């Protein structure tokens, strides 16, 4: 049993974290539709299970939480004071896994976009970015 499973406070936090269907993911999905991108959600048979992907058009979009995936320079990417060593190791592992999965997708010929949670607040800018992404797929 890991320390995470034995510490009730941390395990309660981890249980509350949603893997899919987050408000940020819903916002990106809505903007993708407006940008003309057809997709499937949480495609489990692709590396990293992208939040939005289209195998035919060969694109994948990850909607990353700023806290869990460590968006550099973002105020949401804080590190808890309690047990900071554990959290730093966890965040480093998350970032390494993210980079590895993106590389695997690119090797498979996919275009990959990473949208950060804080970037979903400005839907106009997000829609512009996704329209540019869609145009590059052509």
pLDDT band (50, 70, 90) for residue 84: confident
- Residues 7-17 pLDDT 10s: 665 555 454 55
| CATH class name, domain 19-133 | alpha beta
pLDDT at 119: 95
CA distance 2 to 17: 18
Dihedral of alpha carbons 114, 116, 121, 125, sign: negative
- Residues 118-129 pLDDT 10s: 999 999 999 999
- Residues 93-110 pLDDT 10s: 999 999 999 999 999 999
Show me where the domains of the chain are located. Answer: 19-133
Q: Write down the pTM of the prediction.
A: 0.83
Which whole number is the average pLDDT over 71-83? 88
Asked if 60 and 109 touch (Cβ cutoff 8 Å), the reply is no
Tell whether the model's pLDDT for residue 18 goes beyond 90. no
Asked if 32 and 61 touch (Cβ cutoff 8 Å), the reply is yes
């Amino acid at each position: 049993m890991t320390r995470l499973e034995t510490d009730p406070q941390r395990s309660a936090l981890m249980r509350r974290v949603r893997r899919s269907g987050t408000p940020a993911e819903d916002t990106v999905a809505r903007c993708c539709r407006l940008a003309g991108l057809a997709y499937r959600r949480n495609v489990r048979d692709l590396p990293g299970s992208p939040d939005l992907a289209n195998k035919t058009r060969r694109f994948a979009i990850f909607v990353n939480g700023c806290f869990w995936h460590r968006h550099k320079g973002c105020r949401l990417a804080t590190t808890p004071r309690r047990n900071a060593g554990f959290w730093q190791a966890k965040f480093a592992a998350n970032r390494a896994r993210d980079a590895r999965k993106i590389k695997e997708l690119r090797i498979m010929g996919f275009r990959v976009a990473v949208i950060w949670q804080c970037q979903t607040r400005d839907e106009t800018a997000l829609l512009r970015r996704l329209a540019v992404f869609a145009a590059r797929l052509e």
